[in-house]
Amino acid sequence: MSKPDSEKTVGDVHEALSRPLFNPVLKVTVGEGKLDYEIYLRTADLLRLQTPRSELVDADELMFQVVHQAQELWLKLLAHEVAEVVDDLDGDRLWEVTARLDRAVRITHCLSHELRVLETLTPDTYQVIRRHLGNGSGQESPGYNAVRVAASYAAEALDRLLARHEVALADVYAGPRPELKRVCELLVDLDEGYQTWLFTHYLLVRRTIGVGRDVAALDGVPTQVLVGRMTQPLFRALWAVRSQLTAEWRREGGLAPGADRREARVPA
C-alpha cells in the first residue's frame, strides 16, 4: 500500500525518481535506456556518471559535479567549433566562418551563465565538498586546455587569411574589406566571451574560498594568479591592433564641442 502524499519523505521522492518512469503521452516507460532518444544520447551512460545520492558528502555535491561535467561538454563543443573555423578560414569560406563563430560566441555565454549556478553554493558547504576533491584544479580541465590550443591554431589561420588577401590587420579596419572586418570582430566577440567566462570563474572562487597570495587552490597555486589569467586573451593581435589604431589617431579634423555642425562636413 502506498503512503498518502502527506506522509511521503524526500527519500520516497528520490526512490521514485531512481526508477523508470511512465510517460502518459507516449504510453511507454522512460529510463530503461531502450527508447531511440535514450539510445542516441546514451542517457543510461550519461546519467550514471554522477555520484549516487547515497554516497554524496552533501546534497549540493550533485549540483557541483553536474555543473562541472556540463562545463566540460560545452568546452568540448567550443574547441570543436573553433577547430572547424581553422579549416573554413584556410578555405576562404567566410560565411561559414562567421556562422560558426556566432555559434561559438553563444557557447561562451552558456559557459558563463551556467557557471553562476555554482554561486548558490555557500562557502561552508563548499569546504565540505572540497575535502573530497584531491588536488583537482581548473588547470587540469581537458576542455579549458583544448580551447586554448584550438584558438592558437585559429589565430595562425587568421594570419594566413590576411596574408592571402595581402592586407595587414590594421588595414582591415581602414580598408574596404567589411567581410574581413566581420571575421575579426567575431573573433574578438569570442575572445571577450571566453574572458568573461574566466572572470565569472574568478568571482566564483572569490566568493567561495577567497582570492589572495595567501589563499591556495587545491593544486597549491595562490588564487591571486586568477587575476592575471582572466585577462589573457586568445587572440592577442586582435587586441593589440586597437592600441595601434589609438596610437596612430590624431585629434585634427574633428569639430569642437558645441560647434555648428550644419555648416561643417564631419569627416568619417
State the Cα–Cα distance between residues 136 and 115, nearest whole angstrom.
17
pLDDT tens digits along 98-156? 999 999 999 999 999 999 999 999 999 999 999 998 888 878 899 999 999 999 999 99
The grid coordinates of residue 115 equal 557557471
* Alpha-carbon distances of 73 from 37, 102, 144, 244, rounded to whole Å: 19, 18, 11, 37
Q: What are phi and psi of 29, to 5 degrees?
A: -95, 130
Question: What three-state secondary structure class fits 216?
Answer: strand
Q: Is residue 97 a contact partner of residue 89, using CB atoms and an 8 Å limit? A: yes
Q: Where do the domains of the chain lie?
A: 22-51, 58-247
State the Cα–Cα distance between residues 97 and 92, nearest whole angstrom.
8
Predicted local confidence at residue 186, as pLDDT: 98
Predicted local confidence at residue 136, as pLDDT: 81
* Alpha-carbon distances of 209 from 66, 72, 177, rounded to whole Å: 20, 22, 48
Give pLDDT < 70 ranges for the chain.
1-6, 264-268
Name which CATH class applies to 58-247. Answer: mainly alpha
CB count in 10 Å sphere of residue 235: 19
